[in-house]
């Protein structure tokens, strides 16, 4: 995975961000991008140690701004222009996950063409008069990158909104019918990603508005799995807000043409149903939905369906994420009614194995496991888990994370356990964190 020559070819089908954006950017934007890239050395492990790299854009050496300053190859490696100590211009690669997690939100924002202050500065101010499939690929790439950043717990919703405006502008350009259909699907997916980020921050009206905008683009002529993806997100938000009728209505619509959906998508829908029934306190229906989700997931292993390729859904919705989804559905029953406690604890423990790319989901599972142990299980374990949640939640902008912290704080003050070993410290730690959120 060492440095490559400056003429290394990036695959056009997997180019990530704004091929020509920085070519038209201001000097200030380029300078911010260079400063952001200079921090990559801490997370990059693929460059030969005999040739230390200072990451810059290297424009003066190349003589022009390269049309592709950042890309991703089929091995999911991010490629960035760099300069060796000897002054040689190279492209270096590092794992995409390390790039996203190590470089942080400032780099992603600048790489996507926005100022770190998210002042609405896009590096593509003038919408093109005509668009093609390359613009569809570009929008899909933006949506994929921002979803990955959001899943990792990095909040850049303002930056997402700025780039979404650029994507939305493409819809007003001239294009052939097949491009229009694909572009609407891509922009709808981007709306869903931005809506989800707003939902996580507790901006529910904005979240629902974005979901609705995305739905409107594909409600009449979109693939059923894209419709289902948006509808399940709406359902998840409605469950959170305790509008369970709306949630179950949306899940019913998502399943209207189940024959058009992959088994994996149907597993996702069933897992959300388990959450809805769990929140309702409907024990039997919740368990039925859990079993249904597991059966669909088991059948999806060898499935070949275009649905599973959309947004890399087959790789994304893995067994650990399903376990987390189902555990969080069962949690309401276990926490409020004291049923399925051991079963839920086991699933929440398994969900701790989620990778860093699912950092927020993993944190939710840890917080729910802490709450369940504090209320119905091993208080000592609940304290350890609760302190871990506090440590990982520092600086969060997630309203859902904050709600979990508030629940742990309330539990730490209940008469049954408030004087138990470690509980007063947990109460102090959660109180101090909540003051900063």
Say what the pLDDT of residue 24 is. Answer: 41
Report whether pLDDT(376) > 80. Answer: yes
Q: For residue 168, report the phi and psi dihedrals to the nearest 5 degrees.
A: -65, -30
CA 31 to each of CA 25, 41, 225: distance values in angstroms, whole numbers, following the listed order: 10, 17, 41
Report whether pLDDT(90) > 90. Answer: no
**Both tokens of residue 57?**
């854009």
Say what the pLDDT of residue 138 is. Answer: 86
- Rg for the chain, CA atoms, rounded: 23
Say what the pLDDT of residue 245 is. Answer: 97
Say what the pLDDT of residue 155 is. Answer: 64
Say what the pLDDT of residue 125 is. Answer: 53
Separation of alpha carbons 374 and 364, rounded Å: 15
Q: What is the mean pLDDT of the segment spanning 257-281?
A: 96
Say what the pLDDT of residue 213 is. Answer: 97
> Any idea where the domains of the chain sit in the sequence?
1-97, 223-317, 341-436
395 or 238: which leads in pLDDT: 238
CA 42 to each of CA 45, 79, 148, 221: distance values in angstroms, whole numbers, following the listed order: 8, 15, 20, 46
Separation of alpha carbons 278 and 244, rounded Å: 10
Show the beta-strand stretches assigned E in 285-387. none
> What digits encode the pLDDT tens for the residues 309-348?
888 899 999 999 999 999 999 999 999 999 999 999 999 9
What DSSP string describes 256-279?
Answer: TTGGGS-HHHHHHHHHHHHHHHHH
Percent with pLDDT over 90 in the chain = 58
Separation of alpha carbons 109 and 124, rounded Å: 14
Question: Range with the lowest mean pLDDT among 94-108, 162-176, 182-196, 217-231?
Answer: 94-108
Q: What is the mean pLDDT of the chain?
A: 78
410 or 122: which leads in pLDDT: 410
Tokens 């709450």 correspond to 371
Closest CA to 235 of 275, 182, 288: 275
Report whether pLDDT(114) > 70. Answer: no
Say what the pLDDT of residue 432 is. Answer: 97
CB 243 within 8 A of CB 279: no
Show the beta-strand stretches assigned E in 63-199. 71-72, 77-84, 89-95
Most confident of 104-118, 232-246, 298-312: 232-246
CA 267 to each of CA 117, 250, 294, 382: distance values in angstroms, whole numbers, following the listed order: 39, 15, 7, 30
> What digits encode the pLDDT tens for the residues 9-51?
323 332 333 333 334 444 444 454 444 444 433 333 333 333 3
CA 92 to each of CA 80, 119, 383, 409: distance values in angstroms, whole numbers, following the listed order: 5, 30, 44, 46
């Amino acid at each position: 995975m060492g440095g490559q020559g400056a003429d290394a070819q990036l695959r056009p089908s997997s180019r990530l961000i704004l091929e020509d954006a920085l070519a038209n950017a201001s000097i200030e934007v380029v300078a911010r991008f260079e400063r952001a890239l200079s921090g990559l050395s801490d997370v990059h492990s693929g460059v030969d140690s005999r040739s230390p790299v200072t990451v810059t854009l290297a424009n003066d050496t190349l003589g022009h701004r390269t049309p592709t300053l950042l890309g991703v190859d089929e091995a999911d490696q991010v490629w960035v222009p760099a300069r060796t100590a000897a002054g040689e211009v190279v492209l270096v690669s590092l794992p995409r996950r390390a790039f996203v997690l190590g470089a942080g939100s400032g780099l992603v924002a600048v790489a996507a063409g926005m100022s770190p202050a998210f002042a609405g500065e896009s590096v593509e101010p003038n919408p093109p008069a005509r668009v093609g499939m390359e613009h569809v690929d570009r929008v899909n790439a933006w949506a994929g990158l921002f979803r990955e950043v959001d899943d990792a717990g990095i909040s850049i919703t303002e930056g997402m909104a700025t780039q979404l405006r650029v994507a939305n502008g493409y819809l007003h350009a001239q294009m052939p019918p097949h491009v229009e259909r694909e572009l609407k699907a891509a922009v709808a997916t981007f709306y869903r990603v931005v809506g989800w980020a707003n939902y996580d921050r507790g901006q529910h009206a904005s979240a629902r508005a974005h979901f609705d905008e995305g739905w409107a683009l594909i409600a009449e002529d979109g693939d059923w799995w894209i419709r289902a993806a948006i509808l399940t997100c709406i359902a998840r938000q409605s469950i959170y807000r305790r509008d369970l009728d709306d949630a179950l209505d949306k899940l019913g619509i998502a399943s209207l043409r189940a024959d058009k959906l992959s088994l994996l998508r149907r597993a996702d829908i069933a897992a959300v149903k388990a959450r809805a029934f769990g929140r309702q306190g409907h024990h039997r229906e919740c368990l039925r939905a859990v079993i249904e989700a597991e059966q669909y997931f088991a059948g999806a292993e060898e499935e070949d369906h275009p649905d599973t390729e959309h947004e890399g859904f087959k790789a994304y919705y893995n067994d650990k994420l399903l376990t987390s989804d189902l555990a969080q559905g069962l949690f309401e029953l276990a926490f409020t009614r004291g049923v399925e406690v051991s079963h839920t604890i086991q699933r929440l423990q398994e969900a701790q194995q989620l990778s860093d790319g699912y950092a927020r989901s993993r944190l939710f599972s840890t917080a729910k496991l802490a709450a369940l142990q504090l209320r119905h299980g091993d208080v000592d374990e609940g304290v350890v888990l609760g302190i871990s949640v506090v440590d990982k939640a520092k600086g969060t902008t997630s309203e859902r994370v904050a709600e979990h912290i508030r629940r742990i704080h309330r539990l730490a003050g209940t008469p049954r356990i408030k004087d138990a070993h470690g509980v007063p410290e947990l109460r102090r730690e959660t109180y101090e964190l909540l003051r900063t959120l």
